[in-house]
Amino acid sequence: MPGMVLFGRRWAIASDDLVFPGIFELFVRVLWWIGILTLYLMHREKLDCAGGALLSSYLIVLLLLLALIICTVSTIVCVSMKGTICNPGPRKSMSKLLYVRLALFLPEMVWASLGAAWIADGVRCDRTVGNGIIATVVVSWIIVVSTVVAIFIVFDPLGGSTAPCPAVGPHHLDSHESSQFLDGLRTAATSVWETRIKFLCCCVGTDDHTRVAFSSTAELFSTYFSDTDLVPSDIAAGLALLHQQQDSIRSSQEPDQVVSRPPGPSQEADLDAELENCHHYMQFAAAAYGWPLYVYRNPFTGLCRIGGDCCRSQTTDYDLVGGDQLNCHFGSILQTTGLQYRDFIHVSFHDKVYELPFLVALDHKKESVVVAVRGTMSLQDILTDLSAESEPLNLECEVQDCWAHKGISQAARYVYRRLINDGILSQAFSIAPEYRLVIVGHSLGAGAAALLAIMLRNPYPQVRCYAFSPPRGLLSKSLYEYSKTFIVSLVLGKDVIPRLSVTNLEDLKRRILRVIAHCNKPKYKILLHGCWYELFGGSPEDLPTELDGGDLTQPLLGEQSLLAHGSPAYSFSSDSPLESPTRFSCYPAARYSVRWSHESEFSRILIGPKMLTDHMPDILMRALDRVVSDRATCISCPAQGGSGVDVA
């Protein structure tokens, strides 16, 4: 950090990123040099053949060229080890060394081409020598192609815009010139991100919803990645430092510091009932994913159990709409929920941007009509997730300032129209008029289920929603307060999605900037220690990260602007948690406990290896199974260490 400037443009690689690639290249080239030298010394007398003189010259020149490259790469590695992330001064000679290295790349490519041409001419020498020469030519071309691929990977399309960047020191970040520069950078970044997203999602389609989602997603990414001079390895190092810092702080806390507000008596009395409901309705949220999740959870027996349904001809006993392998989906739904064919009113796997699959079933055990909305499982769903602007939510109630996540709000409206306009709910309640409405979902489906419950609150006052691992940044403050009485959300451990709001991302970026700015160790040591810590643990306090009053020799692009200004389009997110003041957590790792928690406990992203796996529905289901079976023991277990499950 910052990204290196070569040939008048910025590249997505810093001068301290060349330690590990350089060491790997040294290992390959030293072995290659030793192999060529051994071949030449042991078989040079066999080069006395037609064309042998050319091959002998080829090997000698290649040995000299490799020796020069090895010396250059060794120097690059040594220089890359110097300094710290934000102090590139000791590495100021790196650009010159890379120019030398790239200059050596040209003769290497020419010599590899000549070697290939000579081999193609059919030089007749000893077979061992011939095979050795062919091997050297092949290795030469592999390295040439690998170098071209590496250059392509670190190429930054915005590098031409950021290379001539104005002086953005701490006292100039809010100047008019800097503001114009950052605005222009975001505009260019939005265009680049939109092109990337369209390329990655080329098979999604080009309808109006998709085009809007492309633009929204591009704006979101450009907002967060265009105002700091970070390269990917800087983010990785910052996350490693934050994880250790976070664990160090947590280990020094007293147990009573974990809960910000103790639950009331009524909450404690309801905990077991809500826990049982979560355990029951999670089966429906998982069933909405269809056969892929079922086979993933049952890798050895899943296909056998639903194979008969996959081959079954579709009947008129149920309404099955949209998608492929519909009968496989329905077979997995039956296996997951334990219901019968006649218990299902509607099952839809129609999947487009802003249009989510869902199912409607009669749950006789709980006497409820269950609407389960599927979570993220396709590129279309990802685009719905990333359409993160806020938009007004028109409700027939007295709540003011009703704003919600745009993509999830659109998806909830789609399900609402299907349920009401197509008469699906009317059909369900005509069969079981005494039942109550329960809406469930996981991840993206949890967000859509929460908004759907709010939309259906007036016609169905007894509606209840169970949102499993819901996204943060979903509702405005007023809607959050309005929904607390009928929405229960559940979160496991360090799950990042319920903490992933725009405000929390701003906070995470600020924390990364601060921790790497104050780090006094080179990046390669941070990454090595971070990998060791993630794999084998250790003492985080043994890794000092703070400089004593040191100043940055290289200011961070846009840091003060980041800290002083929010993102206007997404400003509602700071007050938009879905969680109610409820949480249950499970300790130690092999066991789980449950507790209520306040939404403020989700106001910061927690770093750790389980921040992604804790979001997976199968992991959450296993945790719920353990919680329900051992809840008597979990109530008395100490609230420290281990994983956590949060219900809100």
The set of catalytic residues is 443, 495
Tokens in use for 165? 């960047």
Query: Are 303 and 328 spatial neighbours (Cβ–Cβ below 8 Å)?
Result: no
Q: Edge-to-edge strands of the sheet including 645-647?
A: 320-321, 344-348, 358-363, 368-373, 436-442, 464-468, 487-492, 645-647
Alpha helices in 422-522, H assignment, sequence order: 424-431, 444-455, 477-483, 502-517
Determine the Cα–Cα distance for residues 136 and 112; give it in Å rounded to an integer. 9
Determine the distance from the C-alpha atom of residue 236 to the mean position of all C-alpha atoms in its chain, rounded to a whole number: 13
DSSP H or E segment with residue 525: helix 523-536
Are 588 and 491 a contacting pair, CB within 8 Å?
Answer: no
> 193: which 2 tokens?
């991100």
Distance CA 435, CA 369 (A): 6
Q: How far apart are CA 74 and CA 26, in angstroms?
A: 7
> Nearest-CA neighbor of 430 among 345, 317, 363?
345
β-bridge mates for residue 237, sequence order: none
CA distances to 408, 417, 467, 474, 623 from 450, in Å? 10, 15, 7, 9, 22
- Rounded Cα–Cα distance for residues 350 and 497 (Å): 24
> Count of H helices and E strands in the chain?
22, 12
Q: Which token pair is 1?
A: 């950090």
In angstroms, the Cα distances linking 643 to 315, 489, 495, 627 are 45, 17, 10, 12
Nearest alpha-carbon partner for 370 in 439, 429, 283: 439
